[in-house]
Amino acid sequence: MSRLLNHGKPRDYAQTPLNIYWETTQACALACRHCRAEAVPDRHPMELTFEEGVSFLHQIQDFGDPLPQLILTGGDPLARSGLFELIDTARKLGIGVSITPATTPALTREILVQLKAHEVEGLGLSLDGSTAERHDAIRGVPGTFDRTLQAIQ
């Protein structure tokens, strides 16, 4: 069963958050009108290195039982190098992992299969309108609506 539901102790929210959102990179191929992350096409030179990312994951472990759920976001977490190694490290530390990838051509069926194989427990996709015209006008890239429906399927 998911660690989300399988905690031994009740959570003291004054001490331990339910979720931690890690903006793993600022890089993203979409150009959403509402982007709070100020996403850009390329990775920021100051983003955490792999080693700093591992150190961050160890800090999450310090919360103890029940651990927060780690949500990997961005930017597009799929644009982050070492993503699967970071996921594996989190899982080895007992941290549950979810992810919110951007729906770009990088989000393939193979990647979805890999995410499942690496024990990612949840995946969030955004659908902002009932038509491609509405959705793509918000996301800034034609074809995103169709890619989102495909990824959901």
Interface residues with ligand SF4 (CB under 6 A) are 28, 30-32, 35, 37, 39, 74-76, 102
Q: Which residue, 66 or 148, is less far from ligand SF4 as judged by CB?
A: 148
Least distance between ligand SF4 and beta carbon 114 (Å)? 20
Alpha helices (runs of H) in 4-66, residue ranges in sequence order: 50-61
**Beta carbon of residue 77, minimum distance to ligand SF4 (angstroms, whole number):** 9
Q: Please state, in angstroms and as integers, the Cα–Cα distance from residue 52 to each residue in 55, 99, 137, following that order.
A: 5, 19, 36
Determine the residue type at 51. Answer: E
**Minimal distance, residue 135 CB to ligand SF4, in Å:** 12
Shortest gap between Cβ of 80 and ligand SF4 (angstroms)?
12
| Minimum distance from residue 20 beta carbon to ligand SF4 (Å) | 17
Rounded distance between C-alpha atoms, residue 3 and residue 33, angstroms: 34
Q: Give me the helix-helix angle, 50-61 and 83-92, nearest 10°.
A: 20
Q: How far apart are CA 13 and CA 1, in angstroms?
A: 22
Residue 57 or 136 with smaller CB distance to ligand SF4: 136
Closer to ligand SF4 by CB, 94 or 124: give it.
Answer: 124
CB 146 within 8 A of CB 105: no
Closest to 101 in 3D by CA, of 130, 122, 129:
122
Output 35 or 48, the one with its CB closest to ligand SF4: 35
Closer CB to ligand SF4, residue 106 or residue 113?
106
